Structure 1
Amino acid sequence: MSQSATANGPARPSLAARIGRTLLNFWGIALILVLWEALVVLNDFNVIVMPRPWAVFADIWANPGLYLQNFMQTAWVAMSGLVLGMIAGTTIAVLAWSSRILNGLLTPIGLIFSSIPVVAMIPVLARMLGYGTETVLAIVAILSFFPFFVFTGSGLKLLPAGSADLFSVFGAKKHQRLFHLALPSALPNWTVALRLASANAILGAMVAEFLMGTSGLGQMLHAASQAFNTERALGASVCATIGSVTLFVLVVSLEARVRERWT
């Protein structure tokens, strides 16, 4: 048996081994669900106050189209805002790196702009852009802007030892330093910014949708809360959490590959 397994390649792990490995990877989630169930049962909470976990997942299972439609709306806005924030933050960081005058002008503005609470910006942006998807898009872009601005700016200055002198000896121009030295050196930091921003993109979009009652999971959460439909409200939150964690895991995988290549 062992010779046959060796001839055909390594033996595949048994079903029990795969289940055990999965439980080890996700034991934290299982523990939360068990504690949630125990809390509801022991305190005999009304379903309006706190439903049982299986009731929340049963509502998702019974209404897949409703959840999927709202999730796709929120995910599209979140990803679009993430891309806009990424472009704006990276571009302004490069401009600040390219000139001391621009650095003195753009860096304080970026820091002040990013320190304003997003909740305080929503009424102003809503009056400027309207109570629609555009405002939610702007909120996510603002949330995503700061990590890219800070980490890209710091990464552009983290040059390999002696590399700046080498480029000076060969008479490299500013744009050559940027594309062949500074940007490659900043790439690991840029992926850190992507990881931080991606973790908040979907949740940020959902919060903005909830406060403005526009569309997507946030509007779904708002409507369910108004109707005291706690299962659906928690179902919307569960979908947003799953989407955020999935996006975060994908970006972490990308970050690991970039660090293997560039560091």
Structure 2
Amino acid sequence: MTAVDLGIDQGVAAAEKAYRDAQTLLLWRRRLLPAAGIVAALGLWAFVVWFFKVPVFVAPSPQLVLMTLWTKLDILLINLLPTAIEAFSGFLIGNIAAILLATLFVHSKSMEEAFFPVVVLINTIPVVAKAPILVLLLGNGMEPKIAIAALICFFPTLVNMVRGLEAVNPQAMELMRVLSASKSEVFFKLRLRNSLPYLFSALKIAASTAVIGAIVGEWIGSTTGIGALIIQSTYNFDSAMLYATVLVGSAFSVLFFVAILTVERFVVRWQPANSH
């Protein structure tokens, strides 16, 4: 091996090491900065409560909230279960309905022109206004909460799915026509594949909004669930339990979001051609 070759190999090895070090540093930066932000926010919260001597029933200290989380974890988890069932069921129903309707709209422009304004109109009605109507129609069980969660997931998924199914590459579509592909082949091999990044963008939003819908539904009429526990804690001026309940609900939303994100990384390994 000549000195030139040796120098090139050493340079390549140094460049690879520098790249690995940079990637490691970036990974730790992405982990440490959010953790530092959370710690700083908790520290500021504790300082404000201590310095201004805020009454416990107005705003508890982080230590009291964490203690409540620990001592009343069983109550919190018992109430989380119905909310999780309602949110997940509404997530499935709302998104499946949106995907099916988006498929219908893409294959029938007359149906889209006739019913898309109706969907938009329904979506403009506030959730707190829909909830009492659904309680009257479906009773006071889980059904209205699931329906609210489904409705709140439905519209973003419908819009994104229609966009994804329609945003196909013109050259790819022309090739499918040249090959005499059937409508089902065009849909499954071209349109559906192209729509997946759009779909998962909507599903990540729906993962959080489904939990919100279930909680709002529980505010209207329920004796169990995260929403009901929030109302009870508020009326009892139990601020520590209120904050702990909110944290548990938020933690579930985050876990739901992360689950969808994980599935997306396995399913979608490409981006739509016109996503930039």
- What TM-score comes out, normalization by structure 2 length? 0.83
CA drift at 1:227:
1.2
Amino acid aligned to 1:56: V
Structure 2 CA distance, aligned partners of 1:26 and 1:258? 29
Question: Aligned pair in 2 of structure 1 residues 116, 62: CA closer, same or farther (>3 Å)?
Answer: same
Could you list the per-position Cα deviations for residues 111-139 of structure 1 after superposition, in whole angstroms to 9, with x for gaps in the alignment? 11112111111111111111221111111
- Which runs of at least 4 in structure 1 moved beyond 6 Å after TM superposition? 18-21
Match status 1:59 vs 2:68 = yes
Structure 1 CA distance, aligned partners of 2:29 and 2:207? 30
Counterpart for residue 237 of structure 2 = 228
Is the 8 Å Cα contact of residues 74 and 205 (structure 1) preserved in structure 2?
Answer: yes
Is the 8 Å Cα contact of residues 153 and 206 (structure 2) preserved in structure 1?
Answer: yes
- What TM-score comes out, normalization by structure 1 length? 0.87
Aligned residue pair count? 246
Match status 1:48 vs 2:93 = no
Is the 8 Å Cα contact of residues 167 and 194 (structure 2) preserved in structure 1?
Answer: yes
Is the 8 Å Cα contact of residues 203 and 241 (structure 1) preserved in structure 2?
Answer: no
Could you list the per-position Cα deviations for residues 16-75 of structure 1 after superposition, in whole angstroms to 9, with x for gaps in the alignment? xx9998543422222221111111111101111111111111111012211111112211
1:110 to 119, 122, 135: 119
Question: Structure 1 unaligned runs (5+)?
Answer: 1-17
The residue correspondences of 1:88-127 to structure 2 (distance < 5 A) are 88-127=97-136
Larger radius of gyration, structure 1 or 2? 2
Match status 1:37 vs 2:46 = yes
Structure 2 CA distance, aligned partners of 1:87 and 1:41? 49
Structure 2 CA distance, aligned partners of 1:84 and 1:28? 36
Structure 1 CA distance, aligned partners of 2:246 and 2:261? 22
Structure 2 CA distance, aligned partners of 1:37 and 1:151? 42
Match status 1:142 vs 2:141 = no
Is the 8 Å Cα contact of residues 127 and 213 (structure 2) preserved in structure 1?
Answer: no
2:188 to 179, 192, 196: 179
Counterpart for residue 164 of structure 1 = 173
Give % identity. Answer: 31
